[in-house]
Amino acid sequence: MPIEAPMTVLLSGADGEFGRRVRSRLDERTGINLSTMVPEEDGGVADVVVHLASGDHDARAFRRQSVTEGAVAMLDRATAAGAAHVVFVSSAMVYGAYPNNPIPLTEEAVLRPDVEFVFARQLATAEALVDQWRRDAPGRTTTVLRPVVTMDATESSTLARALAAGFGQRFGEDDPPAQFVHLDDVVSAVSLGVEQRLDGVFNVAPDGWVAGERVRELRGSGWKLKLPERVSEVWSALRWRFQRGPIPPGLRPYTRSPWLVANDRLKAHGWSPSVTNEQAYVEGTEAKWWTMITPKRRQELSLGAMTLGIAVAAAAGLSLLRRWLRNR
C-alpha cells in the first residue's frame, strides 16, 4: 500500500541477509526515506525505528551481546530521534515449549520462556522494555513480531538449523508438531509493520503446522524403535552432541513439546504467507547434516576421528606384534 506522507525509517541491526532483504523491500516502497543506524553515531531524526538485531541469535552469540542491552540502546536512540513507532523482531520462543501449551498459542498467551534458554528469556525482557517505551509517551506505537523457526535456503541461523534438526528426530518417541516460516514472509511482516504502523504483538507463521511424523518423512528418517525413557534421553543427547554441534542450554525442550502459534491477527491486517510450513522446512534443510556442523565442532570431530584412528592403528600394530612373537 502507498505511504500517505514521506516517512523516515531508521534500521537497527540490519547486518546480514535478513537486514539486506528488509532494506530492499522498504526501498521498493514509495514515500519511505531509509537509513541505517550506526553504533555511537547520531542517527538523526526518524519517524520509525526497525530493530532486527534481537532476532539474530548468531550475531548476538558471536559478539557476546545481550538482547536486553541491545534493546535498551535501540530504544534510547529511538527516543533521541523523536520516533513515534518501533518495529521489534522477537521470536515465538518467548512462549516456551510445554506439554500443556494451548494449540495454537495466541498473542494473549502468558510468556513462559524456558528458564535455561537465556536467549528466549532476554527476548521476553526486551519485549517488556519495548512495551514500557510505548507507554512512556502519548502517541507512541510498537509492532512486536514473534516469528516461528525462520528458514531459508541461504540464510538459516544455527539456532534455526538446530531446531529443524531436532524436530522429527526423537528416537523411540512421538514427535511434537512444528512450524517453519520463510525468511521472506518475515520480511513482509516487518514491511507491513512499518507501512501500517501496526500497534501490538503479532505472531508470524504460515497456516497450520507440520505433524511430527510428517517432519520425519520430510527428513527421510526411518522407523522408530521404542526405547526406555532413560536410554532414549542418552541416545538423543549423543545425537545432539556429535551431529549438530553445540546446542544452547534449554533448547531441547523446544523440540520435545509444542509451541504452535496462531497467525490470525497478522493476517487480519493483510499479511499472507507465501510459503507453507513444509516448503520452508524443505528449503532450509536441503543441506546434509555434516554441512550444518559449526567449524569448532567440525574441528573437534576431526581431532576425535584422528585420535580414534591412531588408537585403532596402535591396537592393530600391537596385535600383529603379539602374533609375530608367538610364531617365533
Which residue would you say has higher pLDDT here, 190 or 252? Answer: 190
Q: Is the pLDDT of residue 141 over 80?
A: yes
Angle subtended at Cα 113 by Cα 291 and Cα 193, rounded to the nearest 5 degrees = 80
Q: Would residue 290 count as lying in a domain?
A: no
Find the range with the poorest average confidence among 10-19, 97-106, 136-145, 306-315. Answer: 306-315
Q: Would residue 111 count as lying in a domain?
A: yes
The whole-number average pLDDT for the span 269-282 is 91
Q: Would residue 238 count as lying in a domain?
A: no
Same domain, 319 and 182: no
**C-alpha torsion sign, points 45, 10, 61, 256:** positive
Same domain, 107 and 206: yes
CA–CA separation, 244 and 294 (whole Å): 8
Same domain, 205 and 306: no
Contacts of residue 52, Cβ cutoff 8 Å, sequence gap at least 6: 11, 12, 13, 14, 18, 19, 22, 89, 190
Q: What is the CA radius of gyration of the chain?
A: 23
Per-residue pLDDT, 284? 77
Q: Would residue 242 count as lying in a domain?
A: no
Same domain, 196 and 73: yes
C-alpha cell belonging to residue 225: 524403535
Q: What is the average pLDDT value for the chain, to the nearest integer?
A: 79
Find the range with the poorest average confidence among 73-82, 106-115, 234-243, 286-295. Answer: 286-295
Q: Is the pLDDT of residue 298 over 70?
A: no
Per-residue pLDDT, 180? 92
Task: Read off the DSSP letter of residue 53.
Answer: G
Q: Would residue 282 count as lying in a domain?
A: no
What is the domain range of residue 66? 7-155+178-210+257-277
The whole-number average pLDDT for the span 230-235 is 59
Q: Would residue 285 count as lying in a domain?
A: no
Domain count, the chain: 2
**C-alpha torsion sign, points 154, 159, 165, 168:** negative
pTM for the full predicted model: 0.77
What CATH number is given to the structural domain containing 271?
A: 3.40.50.720
Per-residue pLDDT, 70? 87
Per-residue pLDDT, 125? 94
Find the range with the poorest average confidence among 21-30, 42-51, 284-293, 296-305. Answer: 284-293
Contacts of residue 3, Cβ cutoff 8 Å, sequence gap at least 6: 29, 30, 31, 32, 195
Same domain, 198 and 84: yes
Q: Would residue 185 count as lying in a domain?
A: yes
Same domain, 66 and 36: yes
60 pLDDT tier (thresholds 50, 70, 90): low
Please spell the DSSP secondary structure of 141-200, one letter per residue. Answer: EEEEEEE-EEE-SS---HHHHHHHHHTT--TTSPPPPB-EEEHHHHHHHHHHHHHTT--E
Per-residue pLDDT, 281? 87
Q: Would residue 308 count as lying in a domain?
A: yes
288 pLDDT tier (thresholds 50, 70, 90): very low
Same domain, 270 and 309: no
The whole-number average pLDDT for the span 83-94 is 94
Same domain, 261 and 314: no
Same domain, 150 and 84: yes
Per-residue pLDDT, 200? 95
Same domain, 76 and 194: yes
The whole-number average pLDDT for the span 311-322 is 75
Q: Given the C-alpha cell 522494555, which residue does it identify?
A: 129
Q: Is the pLDDT of residue 231 over 90?
A: no
Same domain, 68 and 106: yes
Same domain, 267 and 313: no
